[in-house]
Chain A
Amino acid sequence: MSADRVPALEVTGLTHGFGGRRALDGCSFTVPEGAVTALVGRNGAGKSTLMRAAAGLMQPDGGAVRVFGNPAGDATLTRIGYVAQQPSLYPMLTVAQTLALGHRLNPRWDTAYAHRLADNAAMPTRARVGALAPGHRTRLALIMALAKRPGLLLLDEPLAPLDPVARAEVTGILMADVADHGTTVLLSSHVIADIEGVCDHVVVMTGGQVRLATEVAPALDQHLVVVGAGNELDALGDTEIVTARTAGRDVTALVRAAEPLPDGVLAWHRPTLEELLLGYLRVAGPESPRKVTT
């Protein structure tokens, strides 16, 4: 993961609009090789559009996406395993036929791995894909993505359709794959419990813009959650306030500060991952300039 290695994914100034609405507005970040990165944002923040652009399935209005150094597109498809929110599978094929198709279409297809994963998921191999329950359909899409042996996995809310047992199983499978092959993963989610301990990097988006793109551990050390009465926050001086929320007399603010605050009026602690992400998720996007309060 050193700086001189080509990043698995490099997004530069990515901009895209649908009609008059800007879904992506100058997004830039990099995903180092071997990292497991969470793409976090509220509904409509632009996560899925960004995923599609990264997969090379969409031509953005502006900006660039590079996958292992090459422009995203047909040439990078073999190195990417992409699972959309609505997985694109052929409903008329059976599970077994779908896996056979994967073998024919992908040069690096790992048949033994595909079958092991299908067995683990108790996948009904003779059933038609169209008749599968949503959880099974998602697991089949994940198997297709993993057995391709991609360098970069792009997973758009992969755990959302899964029951709690399947969630735990799929997370275990993903992390074992990272351990075995050093696969780079970018997964979108808005469930913070799905991210804790899984992701070592995060990218937070609101209103089509990237608010935070960082490695998790150092970011926790570079922020403070500060609590005090409204006017007491003046004591922060020119410390950058990410967001502040008022509850009664008290204001709770997420601030950027590596150094602890001196003892005094303001109570503070280092944020948990949840506090850090919520703080950035509450940063208002340009198209919804509302004051963030309770």
Chain B
Amino acid sequence: MIYADRLHPLTVFLFYSSILILTMTATHPAALLPLFVSAVLLRGVQIGAKRTLAGTLVALLLLLTVTAINLFLVHRGAKILFFLNGRPVTLEAGLAGLSSGVMILTVILFCACLSRSLPGDRLLSLFSRRLPRFALLLRMAIGFLPRFRLRYREISEARGALGVASEKGMIRKIKARLSDLSILMTLMLEESMDRADGMRARGYGLPGATRAVTEPKSRRDAVLAVLLILLLVPALYPLFSGRGDWNWYPLDFSALIPDLSLALFFAAGTAIAVLPVILEGKETLKWHILRSRI
């Protein structure tokens, strides 16, 4: 089960967008690493440890590529490893690349978690109040996808019965397929006009009609939203004050461990990312325990 299904989509979306903003602006390793760990944990809770670990190879490849890109493109830094074509390859650039790789990986993981917590239809219901036409367009286009398949089968079967499909020769067969597709497009365009007329008949575009999808809001949403705001204020402080900035050039390992106040601000950011892990984890655990083993 997915815990997010019991929440209003806006709550889920706000959580994930806060996490993504924090991740994409995290330059300090002490801020980034906990976010990365919680991303891995959240993905693990969502799809299981085995499938999460299956992505390790791709992740390593990404890390390696981004590190290499930085090593060979950025020539800043004092700790020179070796020279390539007369240009210095520095340790700083490598480490900066590694941290970029971890950041990208974290963003990808959180985005994957977001699309699981908030499937397409619930995400669309979010814009349906403020961008109703665009949301409706997306819904209609999704709705057309299975219809395309259905109509394509009907067309090719009908034309097969007429003997068109049994034509000999590769070129003729391809031509027959292409004209099936051409018929499909004409048919779908015509059908969409009928559908539009149906929408009009049911009152589409009348003044006062709302096209918003209503989703229930509960106390749980209110509690989580308040919690999010309370955590977000300290979590964003390092970004707005500039205290969380980290510079790889020049390298200064002593600054790697943040002082207490900065660590607390980072902890608030981590808490926002850990909260979904706890909530989803509890749900997954409950689902596991309560499942009948007959």
Q: Do A and B come from one complex?
A: no
Q: Could you tell me which A residues sit within 8 Å of B by CB distance?
A: none
Q: Could you tell me which B residues sit within 8 Å of A by CB distance?
A: none
